[in-house]
């Protein structure tokens, strides 16, 4: 549930917004032509992108490039409140702010990830606190101030513990990356998300996603994912000391019974029998 929403606009576009949410809540967005800085003042989440899943804690931030994302905000303990600051970074706006000159810290993009985590940084927290002051006092805000705050944010981000990958992302802002259906699935085999969510991350309807995958790989997405999970489970049984229950959990099966039945159907023996056979080899 959305409990509160404040925003600041630059040239009729939402540049900065603060949202207070009550869990459970699904945060789902598609940034077609922008990147986005998201800071979690309260609450923790797993953010899903086409490239995988990232854990974000309270007082941590991420920088997302153009693409589709979602996060399920859940209630932890007695607290179900999330407080999130969002700064939208539009390529055309950045070009204007830097007067057609790409910022000096931008390098050729080598890291092609969709999502970059900055971690907990005190100077980022102080920046966010300053933004909150302006959100509470919008009469003090003008376009020049907003442009300065964007520049300040970018300069701060390149000094974080993930600064090298962030500089690559700024280059990548101007050339949005396309992803393949197989890449999305491979990046989320062990995320435990649904086929519907995988289709969303691929910017496709569920029917188109299933049909396209079937034609490309002569298999259904669900069958492909199960096969990958069972292959990983087989490796863990032969190389690790994890229990069968722990392996079932790590490979995203809903329970041990489901895992054991699926494993036996694929390999014609139970997980325990397979482990015992491997020890004798």
Task: Quote the CA–CA distance of 115 and 43 in Å, as a whole number.
Answer: 19
Which of 153, 129, 142 has its CA nearest to residue 37?
153
Query: Would you list the domain boundaries of the chain?
Result: 2-172, 181-280
Half-sphere exposure of 124 (CA within 13 A, CB side): 28
pTM check: above 0.95: no
Question: Considering only the top CATH level, what class is 2-172?
Answer: mainly beta
Q: pLDDT tens track of the chain, all 281 residues? A: 788 999 999 988 899 999 998 877 776 766 666 778 889 998 888 887 777 788 888 899 888 776 666 666 665 554 678 899 999 888 778 777 776 555 555 544 444 555 667 767 888 999 999 999 999 999 999 999 999 999 899 888 877 765 665 666 566 555 555 568 888 888 888 888 889 989 888 888 999 999 998 988 899 999 999 999 999 999 999 999 999 999 999 999 989 999 999 999 999 999 999 999 888 76
Task: Quote the CA–CA distance of 83 and 249 in Å, as a whole number.
Answer: 31
Sheet containing 25-31: order of strands: 25-31, 67-73, 45-49, 52-56
Tell the CATH superfamily of the 181-280 domain. Homeodomain-like (1.10.10.60)
């Amino acid at each position: 549930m959305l409990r509160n929403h404040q925003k600041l606009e630059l040239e009729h576009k939402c540049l900065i917004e603060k949202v207070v949410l009550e869990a459970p809540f699904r945060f789902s967005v598609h940034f077609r032509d922008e990147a986005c800085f998201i800071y979690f003042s309260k609450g923790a989440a797993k953010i899903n992108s086409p490239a995988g899943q990232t854990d974000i804690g309270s007082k941590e931030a991420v920088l997302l490039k153009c693409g589709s994302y979602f996060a399920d905000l859940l209630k932890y303990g007695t607290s179900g409140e999330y407080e999130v600051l969002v700064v939208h970074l539009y390529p055309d706006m950045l070009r204007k702010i830097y007067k057609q000159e790409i910022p000096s810290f931008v390098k050729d993009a080598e890291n092609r990830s969709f999502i970059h985590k900055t971690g907990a940084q005190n100077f980022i927290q102080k920046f966010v606190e300053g933004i909150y002051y302006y959100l509470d006092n919008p009469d003090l805000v003008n376009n020049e101030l907003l442009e300065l705050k964007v520049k300040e944010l970018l300069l701060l981000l390149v000094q974080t513990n993930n600064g090298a990958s962030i500089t690559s992302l700024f280059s990548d802002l101007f050339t949005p990356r396309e992803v393949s259906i197989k890449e999305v699935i491979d990046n989320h085999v062990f995320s435990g998300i649904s086929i519907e969510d995988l289709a969303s991350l691929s910017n496709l309807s569920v029917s188109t996603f299933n049909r396209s995958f079937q034609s490309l790989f002569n298999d259904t997405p669900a069958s492909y994912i199960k096969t990958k999970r069972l292959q990983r489970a087989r490796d863990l049984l032969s190389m690790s000391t994890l229990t069968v229950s722990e392996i079932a959990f790590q490979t995203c099966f809903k329970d041990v019974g489901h895992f054991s039945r699926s494993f036996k159907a694929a390999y014609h023996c139970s997980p325990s029998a397979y482990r015992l056979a491997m020890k004798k080899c």
